[in-house]
Amino acid sequence: MSKPLILVSNDDGITSKGIRVLVEVMKKLGEVVVVAPDSPQSGMGHAITIGETLRLYDEDIFEGVLAYKSSGTPADCVKLAKHYVLKDRTPDLVVSGINHGSNTSISVLYSGTMSAAIEGALEGYPSIGFSLCDYSSKADFSHVEEWVEKIARQVLERGISRGVALNVNFPPKRNEAIKGVKVCRQADAKWQEEFSERFDPTGRKYFWMAGNFVNFDKGEDNDEWAIANNYISIVPCQYDLTAHHAISQMNKEWDWSQF
C-alpha cells in the first residue's frame, strides 16, 4: 500500500526548529511534502495575499523531502500546495507547526499556525496545528515528539470530522513528564493590549503594541487549565463562526416589523 501523503506547513518560517522536528516525525508516518513561508508569519491569522505577487522556490533543507518556500502567508502556502505543488494529489493529512509559543484560547484567531491547519480543513483535509507553549528561541521539543506522532497517527487511522482542525498545544518541558491528553474547549481568556507611543529618529510618531494575557476562565475543562497542569490540550476547531444560539434569540426577541 502507498504511504499517506502528508503536507507540512507553519508560520515561523521554513528554517525554524519546530518545522524541522515536525518533518522528521511525519517522515515516520508517510510521504512528506513541505510548503512553508520563507520568513516568520506569526500573528497573520488567516490572511491571504491578493494585492502582491506570490513567489515559490524549491528548498533543499529536509533530507528526502520535497520542500518549497513561499513569500506568502501560511494560508497561501496551503493554497499553493493544493493548486500547484500537489496538483491532482490529495493529502491524507495537513499538519502545521510546531509553533514556538502558545496558541491556546483566543490566540487561535490570530495564529498563522492554525490558519494553515484551518485552510486544510476548509479543503476537506484532516488537519492539525501543533504548538509548544514556550517562546524561547532555545525551546526544547524533545518531550513532544512521541506525542506528535501518536496524535497524527490517530488522525490518519481514525479520522476526524470533515471541516474540523485540531488545535494541539503542548506544555513546556518541565521536571515531570507530561501527564496525558485533554480534549477540551477554548478558554475564556484574551489579550489586554497596551499601546506605547514613541518617536523614530526623524521625529515621526509610531506605536508599539504590548499587553498581558488575562484568563477569566475558572473551569477545568479548557486548554489553559490543561497546559497549566502539564497536560496536552486538544481543541477541535471549525471555520463556521456562526453563533447558532443567537439566531433563535434574534428571531424571537427582535422586532422585525420595523425593517
- Which residue is associated with the grid cell 490570530? 110
Whether residue 166 lies inside any domain: the answer is yes
Q: What is the pTM of this model?
A: 0.94
Whether residue 66 lies inside any domain: the answer is yes
Whether residue 180 lies inside any domain: the answer is yes
CATH classification at residue 139: 3.40.1210.10
CB atoms closer than 10 angstroms to residue 191: 15
Name the domain count of the chain: 1
What's the burial of 204, exposed, middle or buried (CB within 10 Å: 0-12/13-18/19+)? Answer: exposed
Which residues lie closer than 8 Å to 87 by C-beta, 6 or more apart? none
User: Residue 44 has what pLDDT?
Assistant: 87
Whether residue 198 lies inside any domain: the answer is no
Provide the domain limits for residue 143. Answer: 5-187+219-258
Q: Are 33 and 86 in contact (CB under 8 A)?
A: yes
Binding-site residues from annotation for a divalent metal cation: 11-12, 42, 99
Q: What is the DSSP string of 1-24?
A: -PPPEEEEE-SS-TT-HHHHHHHH
Whether residue 252 lies inside any domain: the answer is yes
Whether residue 126 lies inside any domain: the answer is yes
Whether residue 200 lies inside any domain: the answer is no
CB atoms closer than 10 angstroms to residue 96: 35
Low-confidence ranges of the chain (pLDDT < 50): none
User: Residue 1 has what pLDDT?
Assistant: 58
What is the spatial distance between Cα 234 and Cα 248, in angstroms, rounded to a whole number? 30
Whether residue 203 lies inside any domain: the answer is no
Sign of CA dihedral 34, 35, 41, 44: negative
Binding-site residues from annotation: 11-12, 42, 99
Which residues lie closer than 8 Å to 119 by C-beta, 6 or more apart? 46, 74, 75, 78, 79, 94, 127
Q: What is the pLDDT of residues 178-229, one digit of tens each?
A: 999 999 999 999 988 899 999 999 999 999 998 889 999 999 999 999 999 9
